[in-house]
Amino acid sequence: MNKKTLRDIDVTGKRVLVRVDFNVPLDNETRRILDDTRIRAALPTIEALRARGAKTILVSHLGRPDGKVVESARMAPVAARLADLIGAPVPCATDVIGESARATVAALEPGGVAMLENVRFEPGEEKDDEALARALAAFADVYVNDAFGTAHRAHASTAGVAAFLPAVAGLLMEKEIDYLGRIVTNPEPPVAAIIGGAKISSKIAVLQHLLSKVNVLLIGGGMASTFLKAQGVNIGASLVEDDQLETARAVIAGAAEAGVMIGLPSDAVVADKFAEDADYETVSIKSVPEAWMILDVGPRTVADYRAKLEGMKTVVWNGPLGVAEWPAFAEGSNEIARALAAMDATVVIGGGETVALVTALGLAGAYAHVSTGGGASLEFLEGKELPGVVALLDR
């Protein structure tokens, strides 16, 4: 990684503004945090700053308030959960750059941690407004970006503020760039990619970019139906992107030209409707009933994919192989998750649904890295530069 990190600067006694990604799921009624993975992921950075006597000022977004104050999107529950995790108070301002924020920051002692209100309450945040960036920068002496999940956005708190303060990567950001960077630039061969999810159109750039990096490419999820139809397979009433059929053929041809082994489903779990309680059965991919739809890969496909993964030293997985939020259609993804957890390989998991799946299985700790960035990890794997990373100081 060619960017400076928290390890490269002295923060003792300094005010440090830290952009974190605490966009966690909350229960609509109780405001209880349903999954604190993103909060826990930032703990190494927060604890390192506390240990070095910094005054840590956290800023994050939560939900999509679109530049307005939305009571259900306030940061107070997140601050309370963080306080539990670090065993110390985390006062939370009731605004972003106003009187409450100024008082909260002024009261910080060395080693203390405070949180600003939801930065997306400010209409200038998503516009990368210079005035907002300057106001945030005025709170601190140093800026640390530890929010890889928002690094692909040129917002005031991710890229703008870096123009006014010495800006470095946090420990989570460093880890994200390190592991994903290895996939993009120098993976240990042989390399496999498992790409799932609903649509080719959302991942075509990743597929095309990875063809020059991998030895094996395994396809699942709704996008597999488009690949299958492109090869003349009858996929019944399955989700398909007819405008992407030529794209699918081009990926298959590109894989053949590059000597990449491509994997597509040989059997599938099909359902009579797109619903959690649908009737379902497992059939050969050549025997999908006309009015039924593919909602998961079948056991033969899982066995085939496991065989193709044997001997791989680097694996990246982004996107489930079926409608994994419904138990009846999650088994293909679950089995691949278990197989990857048992491999002697550097396994990197990305994408919100995939991360949720491995976390629910209790397997997140079994992989080399589980990325906190959904769209950011995709854009990184596409080879794009991320504004939040570009804005940091070079080594």
Annotated active-site positions, please? 38, 199, 352, 375
Number of neighbouring beta carbons within 10 Å of residue 249: 13
Q: Exposed, middle or buried, 139 (CB in 10 Å: 0-12/13-18/19+)?
A: buried
| Contact of 198 with 352, CB cutoff 8 Å | no
Q: Exposed, middle or buried, 48 (CB in 10 Å: 0-12/13-18/19+)?
A: middle
Q: Please give the Cα distance from 321 to 332 (Å, whole number).
A: 6
Q: Please give the Cα distance from 197 to 219 (Å, whole number).
A: 9
Of 72, 88, 81, the residue nearest 20 (C-alpha): 81
User: Counting every residue, how long is the chain?
Assistant: 395
- How far, in Å, are 100, 178, 248, 374, 378 from residue 346 at the CA level? 45, 12, 28, 19, 18
Q: Please give the Cα distance from 62 to 76 (Å, whole number).
A: 11
Residue whose structure tokens are 């910080």 = 108
